[in-house]
Amino acid sequence: MTLRVAACPLVVARGRLRVVLVTGRQYGEWSLPKGREESHLSRRQVAELEAWEEAGVVGKAVGTPSRFMLSRRGRIERPIIAFAIHVHKLAVEWPEKHQRQRRLVPVDALAGIDLDPAWLRCISRLATTRADDDAAFRQPSARSRETAEVTVQDERWL
C-alpha cells in the first residue's frame, strides 16, 4: 500500500494541549489530516499542506515523525508517517471546509472520541514528544502564553 503522510496539529488552548481532528470525506470518521506523498515536496511539507487543506491549520512540522500501520475496515494495513504540527493559526476559511468537520480535542480526553486505536497511539506519542521537547506545549507561562496559545474565535471548537 502507498505511504500516507499525516499531520498531527497540536495547540495549547485554554491551558490544555489539544489536537485538531477532521472527519473523512467518505465515511465521516475522525482522524488526522493526511494525504499522499508528492514528488516535489518533502514529507514535512506534505504534512503542513494537508493540515492547511483539510483542517485550516497554518503551522510548522516539528520533531521526529511517528511511523505506524493503519487498517481500515478490515482491509490491508497502510503505512503512515505522521508529523507533529506546531499550530500558529486556525483559519476561518480553508480549502476543504465544506467537505469536512474540524474539532479541537484535549489530548487527555481523546478516549471519549470514536478514533481508530492506531491514531490514538500516534497522537499520544507525538503529543508526549512535543511536551518533552518544547516548553511552549508544557506549561505556558503568562509571558509565553501569547505565542503558545492560538486564539480560536469559534468557541465550539474548544
Give the homologous superfamily in CATH for domain 4-157: Nucleoside Triphosphate Pyrophosphohydrolase (3.90.79.10)
Q: What is the mean pLDDT of residues 142-150?
A: 39
User: Strand, coil or helix: what is 123?
Assistant: helix
26/33 Cα distance (integer angstroms): 14
Q: What is the mean pLDDT of residues 72-99?
A: 90
**The pLDDT of residue 141:** 37
Predicted confidence (pLDDT) per residue in 20-73, tens digit: 999 998 888 899 999 999 999 999 999 999 999 999 999 999 999 999 998 766
Burial class (CB in 10 A: 0-12, 13-18, 19+), 117: exposed
pLDDT at 132 over 80: no
Predicted confidence (pLDDT) per residue in 97-117, tens digit: 999 999 999 999 998 898 888
Residue from 69, 158, 157, 84 nearest 119 by CA: 69
User: Strand, coil or helix: what is 1?
Assistant: coil
**The pLDDT of residue 153:** 46
Domain locations in the chain as residue ranges = 4-157
48/6 Cα distance (integer angstroms): 9
126 contacts 8 by C-beta, under 8 angstroms: yes
33 contacts 22 by C-beta, under 8 angstroms: yes
Q: What is the mean pLDDT of residues 65-85?
A: 86
Cβ neighbours for 27, distance < 8 A, ≥ 6 positions apart: none
Burial class (CB in 10 A: 0-12, 13-18, 19+), 54: buried
Q: Say what the pTM is.
A: 0.82
